[in-house]
Amino acid sequence: MSEPTLHHLDCPGSTGQHRLAWWQWGAAQAAHVIVCVHGLMRQGRDFDVLARALVAGAGAQGMGVRVVCPDVVGRGQSAWLQDPMGYQYPIYVADMLTLLARLHALAPIAALDWVGTSMGGIIGMLVAGMPGLPLPVAPGRMVLNDVGPTIEWLAIQRIQQYVGKGPERVDSVEAAAAYLRALSTGFGPISDADWLVLTRPMLQALPEGGWRLCSDPAIAAPLAGVTAEALAQGDAILWQAYEQIKAQVLLLRGADSDLLAPATARRMGQCGPRARLIEFAGVGHAPMLIADDQVRAVTDFLLLAADARP
């Protein structure tokens, strides 16, 4: 399958239902499901390269796999919330539980894995580390991409400077790619051609011509009020969740990351699921999982000896 199929479902919310979109790759009935969740201002098509590799790798082993890449609410093809303060982790986690229930109803899930970049990794830690959630099956393997329970305050300050402040309109995909690239130097060395591919799903055509970013600028509202003290309180909750994760965990880190500190990565290897760490030189926050070595790290972890699960 060279292209994914787009699906939607309605999720409950405090101000009424909202529509969640997800992109699906591979065998629709496969019992092995890999959920890939993007970062704060991105969307599910970021995982196209990885999803193709996972489907091909599973097929080469004679196995089927269903790779599911949601657009978190407010991004991509998903709806925008009426209440901007809904753009927080309780809604994100609830939406993922609704999505997993739908996927399980469509075709029973026997093995569940998670790949989460930045925000997507935090959602994954909460899904896997909070006892009593109505999961069809507990995650068996998790890839946390440049994120951990402790988020560096300087990174939050950097993100606060640009989230929700993008241009209302751009004249071309190339102009949008240049704007996004300037914000995303931490992604590492990426070719101009690859940047265009990564940019197109981030845009929505305007009736009068030109393009706009398809993420809701109001995503910035909850983030704007985050303080160092509030961040520290959130870190404590995330460490508690992380230490309760039963899955095998692979931690990816950009060697120049300003969000995931080396000390946090070391601690993640010493407690809870004892994550195995792989670092990528010349990359900050966050690896885009399109470079060959990054893709190989994830596919090897998720597909090799895929039947040897806890």
Return the domain boundaries, the chain. Answer: 5-151+227-303
Distance of alpha carbon 80 from alpha carbon 111, whole angstroms: 31
Hey, what CATH topology would domain 5-151+227-303 get?
Answer: Rossmann fold (3.40.50)
When pLDDT is cut at 50, 70 and 90, the band that residue 309 belongs to is very low
| pLDDT tops 50 at residue 162 | yes
Residue 186 near residue 254, CB atoms below 8 Å: yes
Q: Hunting for tokens 């991105």 — which residue is that?
A: 42
Rg over alpha carbons for the chain, rounded to the nearest Å, is: 18
Q: Is 162 exposed, middle or buried (0-12, 13-18, 19+ CB in 10 A)?
A: middle
Amino acid at the residue 194:
D
Q: What is the mean pLDDT of residues 30-35?
A: 98
How would you classify residue 210: left for phi > 0, otherwise alpha for psi between -120 and 50, otherwise beta?
left
When pLDDT is cut at 50, 70 and 90, the band that residue 106 belongs to is very high
Global model pTM greater than 0.85: yes
What is the tens place of the pLDDT at every residue in 6-18?
Answer: 999 999 976 679 9
Task: State how beta strands 111-117 and 203-205 pair.
Answer: unpaired
Percent of the chain with pLDDT over 90: 89
Q: Is 242 exposed, middle or buried (0-12, 13-18, 19+ CB in 10 A)?
A: buried
How would you classify residue 133: left for phi > 0, otherwise alpha for psi between -120 and 50, otherwise beta?
beta
Amino acid at the residue 309:
R
Percent of the chain with pLDDT over 70: 97
What is the tens place of the pLDDT at every residue in 255-299?
Answer: 999 999 999 999 999 999 999 999 999 999 999 999 999 999 999
Q: What is the mean pLDDT of residues 56-76?
A: 95
Q: How many residues does the chain have?
A: 310
What is the tens place of the pLDDT at every residue in 120-136?
Answer: 999 999 999 999 999 99
